[in-house]
Amino acid sequence: MLKAITRDVSASLSDCELSFVDRRPIDVATARLQHAAYRQALTALGCTVIELPALDAMPDAVFVEDVAVVVDEIAVMTRPGVESRRSEGAAVAAVLAGCRQLRHIQAHGTLDGGDVLRVGRRVFVGQGARTNPEGIAQLAGHLRPLGYAVQAVPTRHCLHLKSAVTQVGEDTLLIQPRWIDREAFAGYRLIEVDPDEEHAANALLIGEGGVIHPACFPRTGERLQRGGIHVVPVDLSELQKAEGATTCCSIVLRASGE
Ligand code: CIR
């Protein structure tokens, strides 16, 4: 059984951090409706969805992915790369403590969950805007003894590793080649985003059921479908203005004991 931890959209979402996109007005009511549709898509793909209440004082708290890296054995609470996001993790840690042993990234390491792409026993960690070498070294220190191969991958022109590459099938990755070197991912089948859909590489694979993908990138969606991947398009336009998309709004984990 898969669980998905989510948090409702903060009233202050418009005050979010932005790094690589320009600030545009955000309609929070619409963002909440889109988030509800996203939760429904998670449910339709087989997840039991946990909904945490919004944290209105923390604009980016809806992007729960960034505060924890969860594998079957443990959960590593991160230390996000921007100061404004360092208090978001506490309530998520409280949930995760019920099903995983917790580890913590300590100062002066920084790590955002959006930079961590796990494919089976391989863990790729983006080193860029938010995650530093110390954070990667600490994560590796937690995961390597459990049998995970941890590899740093430099990112460019994008917020997180998973802005540039995500898993969309057992051995298939969706990639934006302008933001990441494909060499690190040799051995996987790579599907490139449509050249006109720059931000389309962030898809969320749920088990073997399919991927949640932003509805505003239909050409990339078609490429995925042609590649045999079941795509569930969800309109996430308001959350995308906050530089988030599909992976960042949930932490998906196997229920412990399975
Ligand atoms: C931030 O800059 O931290 C947020 N506005 C967006 C975080 C998105 N997180 C993700 O894609 N993992």
What does the DSSP assignment read for 50-88?
EEEPP-TT-TTTT-GGGGEEE-SSEEEE---SSGGGTTT
Nearest CA to ligand 1 atom 1: 17
* Beta-carbon contacts of residue 17 (< 8 Å; ≥ 6 apart): 59, 60, 82, 84, 85, 243
Q: What is the per-residue pLDDT for 257?
A: 55
CA distance 157 to 224: 24
Q: What is the per-residue pLDDT for 201?
A: 98
Q: What is the per-residue pLDDT for 256?
A: 72
> 111-131, pLDDT tens digit by residue?
999 999 999 999 999 999 999
- Is the CB of 27 within 6 Å of ligand 1? no
Ligand 1 nearest-atom number relative to CA 130: 3
pLDDT over 70, % of the chain? 99
Q: Does residue 199 have a cis peptide bond before it, meaning omega lies within 30 degrees of 0? A: no
Tokens representing 71 are 């594998």
How would you classify the pairing of strands 149-154 and 68-70? Answer: unpaired
pTM, rounded to two decimals: 0.98
CA distance 36 to 76: 27
Nearest CA to ligand 1 atom 3: 17
List the catalytic residue out of 16, 47, 158, 160.
Answer: 160
Give the mutation target among 23, 35, 112, 176 for probing the ligand 1 site: most ligand atoms within 8 A of CB. Answer: 112
- Is the CB of 161 within 6 Å of ligand 1? no
Q: What is the per-residue pLDDT for 237?
A: 98
CA distance 26 to 37: 17
- 3-class DSSP assignment, residue 223: helix
> 146-184, pLDDT tens digit by residue?
999 999 999 999 999 999 999 999 999 999 999 999 999
Per domain, the residue ranges of the chain are 2-254
Ranges of residues in the chain whose predicted pLDDT is under 70: 257-258
Selected from 3.40.50.300, 3.30.70.260, 3.40.50.1370, 3.75.10.10, the CATH number assigned to the domain covering 2-254 reads 3.75.10.10
Active site residue 248: yes
Cα 109 versus chain centre, distance: 19
- Is the CB of 244 within 6 Å of ligand 1? yes
Q: What is the per-residue pLDDT for 40?
A: 98
Active site residue 104: no
- Is the CB of 60 within 6 Å of ligand 1? yes
Q: Reading across the β-sheet that carries 122-127, which strands appear in turn?
A: 116-119, 122-127, 149-154
CA of 257 to the centre of ligand 1 (A): 31
Q: What is the per-residue pLDDT for 258?
A: 52
Q: Any idea what DSSP says for residue 167?
A: E
